[in-house]
Amino acid sequence: MKTRLANMLFDAKSLGGIGTTICMPELSVAVDIGFCTPAALRCDTLILTHGHADHVSGLTTWLGTRRLYGMRPGRIIVPALMLPVMERFLEVLGQLQGRPYETEVIGVDFGEEVQITKDTFATPFPVEHSGPSAGWALIRLVRKLDPKYHGLPGNQIAKMKENPPEGMFSTKLETSVAITGDTTAAGLLPLDSLVKEAKVLFVESTFVDDRRSFDQALLGKHSHLDQLLPVLEQVQSEAIVLYHFSQIYRVGEIEAAVKERLTDKLASVVHLLLPQEGDRL
């Protein structure tokens, strides 16, 4: 899926158990790297939700190919509890290659943040999955022009920006994107404002119909769409992207099950990150 949502470009690919990679090329950030896609390779920052193979298996390609092409080492951001294991993993990979990787690894705890761009930072939020796990929100500092200046010509505003009068701009924080990673529906409650108010929200929805029960979804600590619906009704996002669908479904089956279950309100904002046939092993 390559699309623009809420004025942000996304290049993403996902199939539950095989691979998930969500890239934001304009920020040079990829969240998870189950596939090392061309878009992910060009991202200088990787953010990992957890360490399961379908979310990290493209990491070795990302590391090796970037070095082969003479690209900067980049950095990897992980939940704080995952940091020691990730550092050991990279050390072993370097030993296998006969040369250590210089990639920076940063562990971030809940309530902390890490800078992504000049005006954007990432912060983790709790989810419920096996092993050290976190969802991630990308928060942006937005500067808005006071309405009383809205009618002025652009060149006049540009000139005033050099020495702006007091009150010309106000600033606020807004969540550009939130990505849950793998989680149960219950693990998203109570719904964090970082998630609820995200302009774009990616939500894991592994199971979508009666072929898997709630208990079966819970066994792997994954979400079932029927349990997600009350959560999604609280969301204020411009776009909600359901992803990480199970391999038991074909594309048409996913589309039919989701269409049957969504209210008109949700149907107007929900998008599907559908797998491609070539993704299956």
pLDDT for res 4: 98
Q: Which residues 6+ apart lie within 8 Å of 12 measured at CB? A: 1, 2, 21, 22, 23, 202, 241, 243, 273
If you search the block for the tokens 């969301």, which residue do you land on?
235
Q: Give how far Cα 212 sits from Cα of 160, 195, 209, 226, Å.
A: 60, 26, 7, 11
pLDDT for res 26: 97
If you search the block for the tokens 């279950």, which residue do you land on?
261
Q: Convert the pLDDT of each residue in 113-156 to its tens digit.
A: 999 999 999 999 999 999 999 999 999 987 777 777 787 787 87
pLDDT for res 278: 84
H helical segments located in the chain? 38-41, 53-56, 59-68, 83-97, 154-161, 193-196, 214-219, 225-232, 251-261, 264-267
Beta bridge mates, 179 = 136, 202
Beta bridge mates, 45 = 29, 75
pLDDT for res 170: 65
Taking the C-alpha atoms of residue 14 and residue 51, their distance in angstroms, rounded to an integer, is: 16
Q: Domains of the chain by range and CATH?
A: 2-276 (3.60.15.10)
pLDDT per residue of the chain (281 residues) written in tens, 0 to 9: 999 999 999 999 999 999 999 999 999 999 999 999 999 999 999 999 999 999 999 999 999 999 999 999 999 999 999 999 999 999 999 999 999 999 999 999 999 999 999 999 999 999 999 999 999 999 998 777 777 778 778 787 777 777 778 776 767 889 999 999 999 999 999 999 989 999 999 999 999 999 999 999 999 999 999 999 999 999 999 999 999 999 999 999 999 999 999 999 999 999 999 998 888 88
